[in-house]
Structure 1
Amino acid sequence: MLADNDPRTSAVDEIRDWSKDYVRRHPVRSMETLGRQVIMGGRAIRYLVADVFAWRFPFKEFVDQAAFMVKVSLIPTVAVALPISATLSIQFGLLAGQVGASSLAGAASGLAVIRQTAPLVTAVLLAAAVGSAICSDLGARTIREEVDAMEVMGVSVLHRLVVPRLAAGILVALALTGFSCFVGFLAGYLFNVYVQDGTQGSFMATFSSFATAGDLYLAMVKAVVFGAIVTIVACEKGLNTKGGPGGVANSVNATVVASMILLMVVNVGFTEMYTVLFPRTTL
């Protein structure tokens, strides 16, 4: 037993008290943050629709943000999609060969790229590159009190800053997901045919037999949701930055971590819902 005046006793007590306080307050703060993000997302989507129909949409800001997002995320997305697609082709080719179904490697790798790899790789790269950039930009404006000045002048921050970024994030996510599907499928095809000694006809035939338009629709729906999640999380974290330049760094780190977790959870939910609602009757 430790004595009451032992310094180790006070250290243990402090650690225990901090742990209890953290466990007690962290779930509350997490739910508050999630609530702010849901509210901001709902208002931003409503304002986006209203601005488009009322011809008040800030088109120039939207174009600038979309061009910036493409510039910072296009090359990293392709650089990540290529090796992942090649890895999937290797694994599915080996597995298909072990069970005597080498001709099905094309269908397996192609479906994996369209259903999972393309939208998820795009979303992860958007969270890492685009989300961090959006958060740092809005966080810097917040600590310089530019956001407060806009509110004082009667300029809506949601209309001016969040809505064009949300629209740009969704559009860029759609475009990059489609491009990732093409790049990933092409990489898997080339690797299977020229490295694993597969045949061109069996690859294309099995893929066209098992792939459906619903797989591409699922990827596009995922892209829209993932793009909205990344943009909303980044905007919420940036607009609620506190603590000076160090707070901006903390907000950027929190943006990337929170976006990754939400993306993975939502991806699992989408996959399970699609499997239940549209089951495969045959292989």
Structure 2
Amino acid sequence: MTLDDIPNSQPTAPSAVTEIAAWSTGYVRRHPVAALQTVGRQVALGRGALRYLATDIVTRRFPLDEFIAQSAFMVRTSLLPTVAVALPISATLSIQFGLLAGQVGATALAGAASGLAVIRQSAPLVTAILLAAAVGSALCADLGSRKIRDEIDALEVMGISVLRRLVVPRLAAGVVVAMALTGVSCFVGFLAGYLFNVYVQDGTPGSYLATFSSFATSGDLYLAMVKGAVFGVIVVVISCEKGLNTRGGPGGVANAVNAAVVASIVVLMVVNLGFTQLYTMLFPRTTL
């Protein structure tokens, strides 16, 4: 018997392809279950927070000081970025609609098209994305830091409802600030489109205002406000859920913040599409 005839008792290391295939298979199996669990926690958190918000306001147990502090923080964090983003987006819409209207010989309709686009789509969506990026990340980081320092568990041990004490005032502040910033974004966007159309594209002020007032209705502004309120709820609920379920130390906080921002933006885009399609079906326009 030679050495070649003796079987090798040492196991061979798995190849990189085998490891990648095993990880991919496990991820495909785990991800749908984890996604459903996350959605379930977010729905339960949002439902409980809305219920406590209503009952606390009626029973006068609403933490007004925390609501004011959170509202001031959200405005201070997101006001300037919202205005800074609304200006170039509105100018871009004015450029595109102005060029398109010039190609079809309907330059007088540029004001109506760009103004309606700002109020219906640009203003609420820009506000929501800035809330998710600036406010949502801050909320998630704050609650995540408290979670890994065991402050959340300490509140629960003392019998203090984390949902009432931390989530409810942030939810109310998020709704109010989102609606206010949506109004600001509508005004800034319309003003930017007007100035750009008049002073850069040589449009007439009377034509811009006349065409906008002919096609815009109060329902468009109501839709923008409703969108802002719903978007505010989505951002706060997702950010708070990710923060309260943070684990893994400081690295886990960073992962939770990243997941909160990405999930918020994806959900906002899907909900905005649903709002737009539903509004178009319920209130069809026979003209522009």
TM-score range (shorter-chain normalised) is over 0.9
The reply to whether residue 136 of structure 1 matches residue 141 of structure 2 is yes
Q: Tell me the distance in 1 between the aligned counterparts of 2:137 and 2:14.
A: 42
User: Of 169, 172, 195, which residue of structure 2 is paired with 1:167?
Assistant: 172
Query: Which secondary structure state, in structure 2, belongs to the residue aligned with residue 100 of structure 1?
Result: coil
User: Of 260, 272, 277, which residue of structure 2 is paired with 1:255?
Assistant: 260
Amino acid at match of 2:196: F
The reply to whether residue 126 of structure 1 matches residue 131 of structure 2 is yes
Aligned to 1:211: 216
Aligned to 2:121: 116
User: Of 229, 236, 240, which residue of structure 2 is paired with 1:231?
Assistant: 236
Q: Tell me the distance in 2 between the aligned counterparts of 1:86 and 1:42.
A: 39
Amino acid at match of 1:85: S
TM-score w.r.t. length of structure 1: 0.97
Q: What is the CA distance between 1:282 and its match in structure 2?
A: 2.0
Q: Tell me the distance in 1 between the aligned counterparts of 2:98 and 2:128.
A: 26
Q: Tell me the distance in 2 between the aligned counterparts of 1:80 and 1:282.
A: 30
Q: Tell me the distance in 1 between the aligned counterparts of 2:143 and 2:45.
A: 15
Query: Which secondary structure state, in structure 1, belongs to the residue aligned with residue 210 of structure 2?
Result: helix
Q: What is the CA distance between 1:281 and its match in structure 2?
A: 1.7
Aligned to 1:79: 84
The reply to whether residue 89 of structure 1 matches residue 61 of structure 2 is no
Aligned to 2:3: none
Q: Tell me the distance in 1 between the aligned counterparts of 2:50 and 2:58.
A: 13
Aligned to 2:190: 185
| % same residue | 74
RMSD of aligned C-alpha atoms?
A: 1.3
Query: Which secondary structure state, in structure 2, belongs to the residue aligned with residue 81 of structure 1?
Result: helix
Q: What is the CA distance between 1:8 and its match in structure 2?
A: 9.2
Q: Tell me the distance in 2 between the aligned counterparts of 1:160 and 1:79.
A: 33
Look at both structures and tell me which one has the larger radius of gyration over its CA atoms.
2
Aligned to 2:47: 42
Q: Tell me the distance in 2 between the aligned counterparts of 1:11 and 1:197.
A: 62
Amino acid at match of 2:187: F
Q: Tell me the distance in 2 between the aligned counterparts of 1:199 and 1:180.
A: 23
Aligned to 1:199: 204
1:257-276 mapped onto 2 (5 Å cutoff):
257-276=262-281
Q: Tell me the distance in 2 between the aligned counterparts of 1:30 and 1:218.
A: 30
Q: What is the CA distance between 1:74 and its match in structure 2?
A: 0.2
Structure 1 unaligned regions, length at least 5: none
Deviations 1:25-83 (CA, angstroms, capped at 9, x unpaired)? 11110111011001100000000000000000000000000000000000000000000
Deviations 1:93-132 (CA, angstroms, capped at 9, x unpaired)? 0000000000000000000000000000000000000000
The reply to whether residue 29 of structure 1 matches residue 34 of structure 2 is yes
Structure 2 unaligned regions, length at least 5: 1-9
Amino acid at match of 2:240: C
Query: Which secondary structure state, in structure 2, belongs to the residue aligned with residue 57 of structure 1?
Result: coil
Q: Tell me the distance in 2 between the aligned counterparts of 1:52 and 1:189.
A: 41
Aligned to 1:101: 106
Deviations 1:118-161 (CA, angstroms, capped at 9, x unpaired)? 00000000000000000000000000000000000000000000
Structure 1 segments, 4+ long, off by >6 Å, are none
Amino acid at match of 2:213: S
Distance 1:247 1:9, change over 3 A: closer
Deviations 1:167-210 (CA, angstroms, capped at 9, x unpaired)? 00000000000000000000000000000000001100000000
Amino acid at match of 1:86: A
Q: Tell me the distance in 1 between the aligned counterparts of 2:15 and 2:84.
A: 52
Query: Which secondary structure state, in structure 1, belongs to the residue aligned with residue 138 of structure 2?
Result: helix
User: Of 140, 150, 160, which residue of structure 2 is paired with 1:155?
Assistant: 160
Amino acid at match of 2:91: A
